[in-house]
Amino acid sequence: MVQWTAEERAAIQAVFAKLDYKSVGLESLTRLLVVYPWTRRYFGGFGNLFNSEAIMANPKVAAHGTVVLQGLEMALKNMDDIKNTYASLSELHSEKLQVDPGNFQLFGDCLTVVIATRMRTEFTPDIQAAWQKFLAVAVSALRKQYN
């Protein structure tokens, strides 16, 4: 089981408290689709994903960004059992959506960069470390049902 120190819990809560799910979700997904263009393969039904401006203006991307952040909130609310909390989500991504799990890490990296642009100097190395540990656990849980 993952062990969290009091400082780590506080750091992760602090990051979430500052997150505007809609805006951060949209920008993180946009960065994923721009920086790692192969990820567009999973969003064929989303319409215009041609460039950064088009993606940021795309309502389906915005809606989906919020969904993903809400998914992460589930992990936040169940930090001591993320593995089981994500069991059905993991199955969804592997069986139905068939997403290459390498892309989860990439989304996490983009989300981290967006948080850094918003929090700036408040996103200290210690807070970053705690946040990335949380993401690593979430990503690992999402990968669990792949076989």
Partner 1 sequence: MLSNTEKELIVQIWDKMIPVAEDIGSEALLRMFTTFPKTKTYFSHLDISPRSEHLRCHGKKLVQALAEGARNISTLTTTLAPLSRFHAYQLRIHPTNFKLFNHCILVTLACHMGENFTPVAHAAIDKFLSAFSAVLAEKFR
Residues that bind partner 1 (CB under 8 A): 27, 30-31, 34-35, 52, 56, 109-110, 112-114, 116-121, 123, 125-126, 128-129, 132-133
Q: Residue 88 or 132: which CB sits closer to partner 1?
A: 132
Q: Residue 10 or 35: which CB sits closer to partner 1?
A: 35
DSSP annotation string for 62-131: HHHHHHHHHHHHHHHHTGGGHHHHTHHHHHIIIIIS---THHHHHHHHHHHHHHHHHHGGGS-HHHHHHH
Least Cα distance to 144 among 105, 104, 87 occurs for 87
Q: Residue 135 or 142: which CB sits closer to partner 1?
A: 135
State in angstroms the smallest separation of the CB of 91 from partner 1.
Answer: 29
State in angstroms the smallest separation of the CB of 68 from partner 1.
Answer: 16
